[in-house]
Chain A
Amino acid sequence: MNGIHDLGGMHGFGPVTVEADEPVFHADWEKTVFAGFAQLAGQGLFNLDEFRHAIERMGNARYLTSSYYEHWLSAYETLLVEKGIVDGEELRRRASQLSEDPESIPRPQPQGDERLAPRVRTLIQRGASTARRVEAPPRFRVGDRVVTRVTNPRGHTRLPRYIRGKRGTVEMVHGAFVLPDTNSRLEGENPQYVYSVRFEADEVWGEHADGGRSAIYVDLWESYLEPAAEAGRAR
């Protein structure tokens, strides 16, 4: 979707502000939120692509005025309510009750599944690769000239807007990975080859005034690409 999350190339956000000696977490609630993803996704309640898409659906204005871990929180709320895992009314009721009186709901003394912590430890150590084996050979090879599709899907995609309709050169073939566009809708993993494609800055930005040579490398799924029609000559 053409949401505000797709920030590449926008103007007007001002300088990059660096916090000195930044802590890993800025508040305890951030720890809770951070730790939610591996537990919830790790139990298969949602996948990474659904999660990213849920963040993208939080609303453009809210996205810009809330922090990174608020984005995560918003995605949990959206997905868990949509999937019927958590009751939205109950969630709002508890939040407003806690706003009135933070001690009205005691911090839990839970007896959760004691296998969850070891599972999460394994996930940290091994990860959860979305690479998949596909039988067909890659459509493109290193050095091939390609052009990205011009498309404006309403759903989730990992084809950034700033790179649509641009010509580039395949620099690496990464192997095949789950396609976010369909996996985010639970319409199948549809693994496709992913390519690192090099785009010259002038191709992307036209009259470019950054004062020197530069290129952008973007990792793109096969269906985002077409062979470039021009007389093929690697850069």
Chain B
Amino acid sequence: MERHGHHPEPISEVEARVRALESLLYEKGLITPEAVDTLVSAYESDIGPLNGARVVARAWVDPDYKRRLLEDGTRAIAELGFGGMQGEHMVVVENTPTVHNVVVCTLCSCYPWPVLGLPPVWYKSAPYRSRMVIEPRAVLREFGTEIPEEVEIRVWDSSAEVRYLVLPERPEGTEGLSEEELAQLVTRDAMIGVAKVKAPAAAR
């Protein structure tokens, strides 16, 4: 490698700002690489929508659990070992043939991390946050989710420190599936409320 006249890869303005702040905070001992790794690996590897899917699948197969889940979401979710940062106070709202629930945060991007992981970019975006409260049907249609006129849409604007999880309807034709198989069907989008859970044949 030629050392002389070596030009390192240029970095963006934001990367330079991050590196600058990072270097100062490392020097002051206010952040550590171990803590960074702990946080990043937790949300990259351990905490994601499969947690929420397990909650939903359990509720589908166990009516008693479902009752507890709708009564006290935080406690019932903790029964499966999930909870913590940005899920300290959970409310679970149930979709039925007459009610469809969907979650948004118009003021920032509040999201139930312990059960869904970190939010996707679209959830944090201006179009989603501005439009979901004023034209939920139009936004849902963009996600391919058609909600009939007579079905009431409930939009949950998580403006405080309570986080919402949608309990989707169990699709028809899944009677023979195990709890584990059911969990595999449940998507992040269905638990935000922008999609429905599809039966295996239609899920492909």
A29-B15, A124-B42, A218-B159 known; A39 and B130 CB under 8 Å? no
Neighbour of B20 across the interface among A66, A94, A212, CB < 8 A: A94
Q: Which of A16, A25, A64 has most B Cβ within 10 Å?
A: A16
Alpha-carbon distance between A212 and B138 when the two chains are bound, in angstroms:
11
- Residue A190 interfacial (CB < 8 Å): no
Alpha-carbon distance between A101 and B11 when the two chains are bound, in angstroms:
9
- Residue A187 interfacial (CB < 8 Å): no
Stretch at the interface among A112-120, A135-143, A225-233: A112-120
Neighbour of B134 across the interface among A9, A80, A117, CB < 8 A: A9
CB atoms of B162 and A124 under 8 A apart: no
The dominant DSSP class at the A interface is: mixed
Alpha-carbon distance between A213 and B34 when the two chains are bound, in angstroms:
50
Neighbour of B160 across the interface among A110, A117, A158, A210, CB < 8 A: A158
- Residue A61 interfacial (CB < 8 Å): no
B21 — which chain A residues lie within 8 A by C-beta?
36, 73, 76-77, 80, 86, 91
Alpha-carbon distance between A86 and B29 when the two chains are bound, in angstroms:
12
CB atoms of A112 and B26 under 8 A apart: yes
CB atoms of A24 and B35 under 8 A apart: no
The 8 A CB mask of A15-52 against B (1 = contact, 0 = none) is: 11111001011110101111110111001010000001
Neighbour of A128 across the interface among B28, B33, B88, B131, CB < 8 A: B88
A34 — which chain B residues lie within 8 A by C-beta?
39-40, 43, 118
Neighbour of B106 across the interface among A7, A22, A110, A196, CB < 8 A: A7
- Residue A164 interfacial (CB < 8 Å): no
CB atoms of A210 and B134 under 8 A apart: yes
Alpha-carbon distance between A17 and B142 when the two chains are bound, in angstroms:
9
CB atoms of B131 and A13 under 8 A apart: yes
A108-B27, A110-B27 known; A214 and B11 CB under 8 Å? no
A108-B26, A117-B32 known; A131 and B88 CB under 8 Å? yes
Instruction: Report the minimum CB–CB distance from B37 to chain A (whole Å).
Output: 8
A94-B20, A158-B107 known; A220 and B159 CB under 8 Å? yes
Alpha-carbon distance between A77 and B17 when the two chains are bound, in angstroms:
9
B18 — which chain A residues lie within 8 A by C-beta?
29, 32-33, 73
Instruction: Report the minimum CB–CB distance from A139 to chain B (whole Å).
Output: 16
Q: How large is the interface on B (under 10, 10 to 19, 20 to 34, 35 or more residues)?
A: 35 or more
CB atoms of A116 and B160 under 8 A apart: no
Alpha-carbon distance between A32 and B151 when the two chains are bound, in angstroms:
43
The 8 A CB mask of B134-147 against A (1 = contact, 0 = none) is: 11111100110001
Alpha-carbon distance between A211 and B21 when the two chains are bound, in angstroms:
49
CB atoms of A112 and B29 under 8 A apart: yes
Interface size (A, Cβ < 8 Å)? 104
- Residue A188 interfacial (CB < 8 Å): no
A117 — which chain B residues lie within 8 A by C-beta?
32, 34-35, 37-38
Instruction: Report the minimum CB–CB distance from A162 to chain B (whole Å).
Output: 7
Residue of B nearest to A217 (CB): B156
Residue of A nearest to B6 (CB): A103
Stretch at the interface among B53-61, B119-127, B171-179, B196-204: B119-127
- Residue B23 interfacial (CB < 8 Å): yes
B42 — which chain A residues lie within 8 A by C-beta?
121, 124
A25-B40, A214-B152 known; A219 and B127 CB under 8 Å? no
- Residue A55 interfacial (CB < 8 Å): yes
- Residue A170 interfacial (CB < 8 Å): no
CB atoms of A70 and B159 under 8 A apart: no
- Residue A153 interfacial (CB < 8 Å): no
- Residue B108 interfacial (CB < 8 Å): yes
CB atoms of B32 and A110 under 8 A apart: yes
- Residue B5 interfacial (CB < 8 Å): no
- Residue B75 interfacial (CB < 8 Å): no
A14-B127, A25-B44, A29-B18 known; A102 and B9 CB under 8 Å? yes
List 5 extra interface pairs beyond A8-B134, A8-B157, A124-B85, CB under 8 A.
A7-B126, A16-B125, A86-B24, A91-B21, A123-B84
